Structure formats: C-alpha cells, structure tokens
Structure 1
Amino acid sequence: MGRKQSFTETELLDVTKRLILEHGYDGFHLKLLSQHLSGARSTIYQYYSNKEEIVAACMKRVISQIMQNASSIDETDAMSALQQLLHVYMEESKLHQLLGDASKIKTQNVKALEDLAFVEQAHSFLKVQLSRLFEQAQKEGKLREDLPLPVLIGTFFNLINTPNLMNVPTQQWSSLLFQIWIGGSKR
C-alpha cells in the first residue's frame, strides 16, 4: 500500500511559489517539489499534469489575490488609493520575479495556457487601475505635473523592491516608503 495523500492543493501551490522564488523557474522541478511535500510524488499528478501547469496555476493564484485586494480599494481619494495599492503590491513584493518567469513557460497544455492568459489579463487590469489613479491624482494637483506619468509610476514601482532593512511589518514599511515617495527626503 502506497503513502496516503498528505498535502492539499493550497499547500502544493504555497510550496511551488516558495521554490520558484528560491530556485527560479529553471531550477524548479517536480522532484524538488516532491522533496518539500509530505506525501508521494504521484499525489502531485492528482492536481496537475506537469511542471508548466503547476507554475501557471501558482502564478494565477498569486495575481488573483492581488487583483482581489486591488479591486477592493476605494478609489475616491487617489492618493489614499495609491498608498493602499502600494501596500497590496508590497504584500506580494516578489510578484514580478514570479511573473517574470511566465515567458519561460512553453507549453501546449490547455489549462496552463488558460492560466497564463488570465495572468496577462490581470496584469493589464492592474496597469489600467494604476494609470487611472496616477492620472486622477495629477488632475487633482496632488502629484507633480512637470514630470511625465511613466517617471512617477516607475519610481512608485521601485518602492516595491526597496529592502526592508528595519524589518518592520509590511504595512508600516509601505507607509514609510509612500511618505518618502510623496514628500521626498528634503526637510
């Protein structure tokens, strides 16, 4: 009698995400995944048929959560919404690293292709939301109008990659970074 299934799909995707972030897409493989799960390697195939399908599902899951959180932001006050959006992005600060590997997935697997298409659509939704908030804040005179939006947006996105050298909670860290972004470091 073989080993019983002892992990859930959620656990499988959590471990997948962690291993992709640690090893990259190229270093991630099913043997590595099975070594980090408490159960038979064959159990993986009860959920997904191959590496590409697992990785695409993992990407879809991460961006779905970000979209859900971003969609729930009240956009009435653009600056407040931008600060909340920064926090949402910082909660998944490794998103770009994870999604950067999407282009490496070469597959004909229908499920993986559907998940990758969803990821692309979600990414487009998030870009539209961010651009809309920046335009709104600029129109309200809350952001400099002498700087092109791509400069403001690019700088905003760079905040996400700022190392948390103080090891404070993400909410506090994103708030500090937003304050420095909006006010600069000048006294």
Structure 2
Amino acid sequence: MGRESKFTKSDLYQATNQLLLQYGYNGFHFGLLAEQLNVTRAALYKYFDNKDELITEYMVEEMERFLLDLQKMKEYPLFKDQLDYLLGVIFKYSRIHQILSMIFQIQKSNHVKVNEALELLETQHEKMYSYLNDFVQLGKRDKLLKSEFPNHLILGFIFQTVNIPNYSQLPEQDWKNLVMEFLCSGMFNEK
C-alpha cells in the first residue's frame, strides 16, 4: 500500500519554505518534499510539472501576502509610525528576502506557468519598491531622513536589520524597539 497522497496547499508551501531555507534552490527537489509531506513524488507531479513551477507559484503567493501587509503601511500618516509598522512587517516576513533571492537561479524556460510567475514576481517587486520608495520620500519630505542618502541605501539598512542576530534573546517587541531606536537615533551619543 502506498503512502497517503493528501496534503493541503498550506502544508505544501510550509514544507517548501522550510526545505528551501535548509537546502537552498539547488538542493531542493521533489524527493525531499515528498518525504517531508509523507507522500509519493508522483503525488506532487499531479500538481506541478517541476520544482520551478512549484517554487515560483509559492513565491508569488508569499510576495502577494507580503504586499498586502506592506500596503497597509500607508494607513499611518506619520513617518515614524510607518517605520514601526514596516519593521513589524519585515520581522514577520524575515525569511522572504532569502527565499525571493533564489528567483535569480530560476531560468526562463519553455514552461509557460514558470515564465508567467517570473513576470508576475517582477511586477510584484516593482510594486513593493513603489511602496517603499513612497515611504522613504515621506521621511525625506518631513526632513527626518537625510536627502543625500540614496533610497536604496536607506531601504537596504532597514531590510538588513532582520539579519542581525538577537544574541541577547530579547522578546521580539523589545528587539524591534531596539532596532527602531538604532535606526532613528544611530549609535552615537548626542553631544
């Protein structure tokens, strides 16, 4: 008797996320995923022609959820409130940057679904940048951010904060507050 071939989309995406983070794009394959889900590889091939189709579909869905949360940032009129909200979103999706960076390993192919997903991911990336650019422009307009710093440098620092290990093992909100203080006030004492 074969293994049960039932799994939910949520199970599938959770396992895909975990395996991509653990093994990377090149180490990820349907054999690992099937073992993780306790199904046969054939069960996976019923839904996806190859790993690129699965990974790009997963990335599109993750990016869509990220964008839905990110666009809510505009509900806060003040820059510092937007920054606080943005940090919360970044911490919530702390691994999305690592996963989405794998997109550059996926080649355009003859596979229509993969190519459509890659094009959609590009559109989603542009939408994300538009939201973030508006955020930085608000900070510059309110003279809270230095206008001489390029937007991508400011955003890079903000996004890289999730990669700083919390060695002090502070509760998440305390860690977020500390990062917020560092971003807003820097590391130097005022003289």
TM-fit CA distance, 1:108? 2.2
Larger RCO: 1 or 2 (CA < 8 Å, sep 6+) = 1
What amino acid sits opposite 1:154 in the alignment? G
Q: Rate the CA distance shift 1:29–1:144 in 2: closer, same or farther, 3 A.
A: same
TM-fit CA distance, 1:79? 2.2
2:22 matches 1:22: yes
TM-fit CA distance, 1:171? 4.0
1:37 aligned partner: 37
Structure-2 separation of matches of 1:72 and 1:161: 23
User: Any stretches of 5+ residues in structure 2 without a counterpart?
Assistant: none
1:77 aligned partner: 78
Structure-1 separation of matches of 2:115 and 2:62: 16
1:54 aligned partner: 54
CA contact (8 A) 2:3 2:38 kept: no
CA contact (8 A) 1:75 1:133 kept: no
TM-score (normalised: structure 2): 0.88
Partner-residue secondary structure (3-state), 2:46: helix
2:182 aligns with one of 155, 180, 186: 180
Partner-residue secondary structure (3-state), 1:53: helix
Structure-1 separation of matches of 2:154 and 2:114: 34
2:9 matches 1:9: yes
CA contact (8 A) 1:15 1:33 kept: yes
TM-score (normalised: structure 1): 0.89
Q: Rate the CA distance shift 1:169–1:120 in 2: closer, same or farther, 3 A.
A: farther
Partner-residue secondary structure (3-state), 1:36: helix
Structure-2 separation of matches of 1:95 and 1:68: 14
How many residues are matched?
187
1:145 aligned partner: 147
TM-fit CA distance, 1:67? 0.6
2:80 matches 1:64: no
CA contact (8 A) 1:87 1:170 kept: no
Percent identity between the two aligned chains: 28
Structure 1 stretch displaced more, 70-79 or 18-27:
70-79
Q: Rate the CA distance shift 1:139–1:70 in 2: closer, same or farther, 3 A.
A: same
RMSD of aligned alpha carbons: 1.9
1:101 aligned partner: 102
What amino acid sits opposite 1:184 in the alignment? G
